[in-house]
A and B are shown apart, each in its own frame.
Chain A
Amino acid sequence: MHESGDVRIPIGPQHPALKEPESFLISLRGEKITASSVRLGYNHRGIEKACEERTYTQGLYLIERICGICSHSHSTCFVQAVEEIAGIQVSPRAKYMRTLIAELERIHSHLLWLGVAGHEIGFDTLLMYTWRDREVVMDLLATLTGNRVNYGINTIGGVRRDINSKQKEEVLKAIDILEERTKYYIDLAKNETTLLKRLQGVGVLSYEDAKKLDAVGPTARASGIERDVRKDDPYAAYAELDFKVISVNSCDVYGRTLVRLGELMESYSLVRQIIRKIPDGPILIKSPRKIPAGQAVSRYEAPRGEDLHYVRANGTEKPDRVKVRAPTLANIQSVSKMLEDRYLADMPIVIAAIDPCFSCTDRLVSIRDTKSKEKNTVAWETIRLKGIAWYKDKGIDFISLNKKLTKLF
């Protein structure tokens, strides 16, 4: 709770420490945070609604663009739900392909996170090196799928691209390089004083709190909760693969780093198993354009935690309703707890440690009247006019500026 005696600092929606627009309100007593609250809603893109206007095939590409980093996570989660409704049995080879891309995506996401975490604590050397190494897996994804991001490999009924023996060799070679690099980073994380001193005991989230606040993914696993959809509710090819769920009990940012590094090592082993075991067969089963009426929920372990998609079909070419719960929405509640009684300077790394993705999380914009506390909806045009009037009040007239600009060109 924000108390009246404390200094309040709004951080965001635009702030140098934040990568995306979101807003935090921090109450401070001295340098210590006494309370914090988060406000989302600056990135709402209306993707769920837009999906209702598109066919399943078209919607898939939109769903993939919910997140630029876990794009395969969202698209797989969505196609799994659609396939369940339509009763489509995906071929084993397609399932292995999906798993392969999923693990490569996890590798790229975790390496990216390691760099961001380094950057947030002022250790930019780490950022440079991890991102350089990340290029290895990005190139691999481009070779396998044709795109560096938003791979477009999934389609309803299977995958769109197969893997050949030359590509398999390339994957194995790249994985060897990455494994060696990751071993070095693990060594670094265990021995480099900069990391240890800056991350240990920062952003503590106890086991009880993590359970109570429903944390997911590496955030939960660093608080000792062994929860992983790949193990608990296996999808794609995970039931046939051998891997460990990495969890530690340190409950802090350092623990979250170790969990991600451990998961990288598990992902390398998973990729090798997939390359070894991938069965022969078709990669795509023809699916109907019209999906029969029904509904399904699909779960997926994205690099950031559990991703959830709900799809309701009504027998047409377009879905009736699509609902997305991105992992950040589950984790964001725990940030306030992690910040409690911590120093203000810890804030960027604590927020970064849940690996947030705010535009994936934003689902609804609700506007409240601050006086009557009433919720009401405002039309786009009203907001626009209000904006123009507000600036005019401050002496900036967009309409005349616009006219001048048009004359100029």
Chain B
Amino acid sequence: MSRPGKIARLLIQSLFKKPATGNYPVDRSGMPEGFRGKLKFNAGMCIGCKMCMRDCPSEAIEIRKLGEKQFEAQINLAKCIYCGQCVDSCPKKVLEITAEFELARLDPAQLKVIFNDGNKDSPKG
């Protein structure tokens, strides 16, 4: 039977429900496990094969040699599309993807993140 305002009941019911939106930034539980966010680079393990650089679709990662068996990685957070291809391509499991997603920066220079000491990252500049 066709009648207007059939959705009205749902509307009234919704008045007494809690909002569908989350309470960000107070509640930060939004990202599921395995979410592809900021990368992590475990400097000591890298062998400098540069497979990650070769497969990165957006030229966001750069591996530089610091010395004998020492490498650092520079990741451009603005260029990275968070696809995780470099993690898959790395033969030594040096790269890891974390669920960190709040990556906006006021200073563009800080978008270039350099990893060279353990797995800490040091924003440039």
Quick check: B83 and A61 within 8 Å, CB to CB? yes
Cβ of B5: which chain A residues have Cβ within 8 Å of it?
192
Quick check: B85 and A57 within 8 Å, CB to CB? yes
A147 close to B (CB within 8 Å)? yes
- Measured in the bound complex, the distance between the Cα atoms of B54 and A54 in whole Å is 10
Cβ of A146: which chain B residues have Cβ within 8 Å of it?
34-36, 84, 97
B15 to chain A, nearest CB (A): 13
Quick check: B7 and A126 within 8 Å, CB to CB? yes
Cβ of B34: which chain A residues have Cβ within 8 Å of it?
143, 146, 161
Cβ of A365: which chain B residues have Cβ within 8 Å of it?
none
A388 close to B (CB within 8 Å)? no
Quick check: B7 and A125 within 8 Å, CB to CB? yes
B118 close to A (CB within 8 Å)? no
What 0/1 readout, one digit per residue, does chain A (145-172) give for beta carbons within 8 Å of chain B? 0110010100100001100000000000
A62 to chain B, nearest CB (A): 7
Interface size class of B (residues with CB under 8 A): 20 to 34
Write the chain A residue with the least CB distance to B88.
A160
A316 close to B (CB within 8 Å)? no
Contacts known (A126-B7, A191-B6, A192-B7); A61 close to B32, Cβ less than 8 A: no
Question: Count the A-B residue pairs with Cβ separation under 8 angstroms: how many?
Answer: 71
B83 to chain A, nearest CB (A): 5
A193 close to B (CB within 8 Å)? yes
B87 to chain A, nearest CB (A): 10
**A residues contacting the other copy or chain, number (CB 8 A):** 31
Quick check: B35 and A142 within 8 Å, CB to CB? yes
A132 close to B (CB within 8 Å)? yes
Contacts known (A146-B84, A155-B88, A160-B88); A61 close to B57, Cβ less than 8 A: yes
A249 close to B (CB within 8 Å)? no
- Measured in the bound complex, the distance between the Cα atoms of B83 and A160 in whole Å is 11
Cβ of B57: which chain A residues have Cβ within 8 Å of it?
54, 57-62
What 0/1 readout, one digit per residue, does chain B (114-125) give for beta carbons within 8 Å of chain A? 000000000000
Contacts known (A139-B32, A147-B36); A188 close to B85, Cβ less than 8 A: no
Write the chain A residue with the least CB distance to B59.
A58
* 8 A Cβ contacts from A21-56 to B: 54-55
A196 close to B (CB within 8 Å)? yes
B62 close to A (CB within 8 Å)? no
Contacts known (A57-B55, A61-B57); A147 close to B7, Cβ less than 8 A: no
A391 close to B (CB within 8 Å)? no
- Measured in the bound complex, the distance between the Cα atoms of B96 and A215 in whole Å is 45
Partner of B55 from the list A58, A125, A142, A196 (CB cut-off 8 Å) is A58
Quick check: B2 and A142 within 8 Å, CB to CB? no
Quick check: B84 and A152 within 8 Å, CB to CB? yes
B4 close to A (CB within 8 Å)? yes
Write the chain A residue with the least CB distance to B33.
A143
Contacts known (A57-B55, A142-B32); A129 close to B2, Cβ less than 8 A: no
- Measured in the bound complex, the distance between the Cα atoms of B1 and A191 in whole Å is 6
B3 close to A (CB within 8 Å)? yes
A67 to chain B, nearest CB (A): 15
- Measured in the bound complex, the distance between the Cα atoms of B31 and A58 in whole Å is 26
Most buried by A among B3, B10, B54, B57: B57
Contacts known (A125-B11, A139-B32, A188-B6); A132 close to B20, Cβ less than 8 A: yes
A interface residues, Cβ below 8 angstroms from B: 54-55, 57-62, 125-126, 129, 132, 135, 139, 142-143, 146-147, 150, 152, 155, 160-161, 184, 187-188, 191-194, 196
The 9 lowest CB-CB distance pairs between A and B, nearest first, are: A146-B36, A61-B57, A58-B57, A193-B4, A143-B32, A192-B6, A132-B20, A152-B83, A193-B2
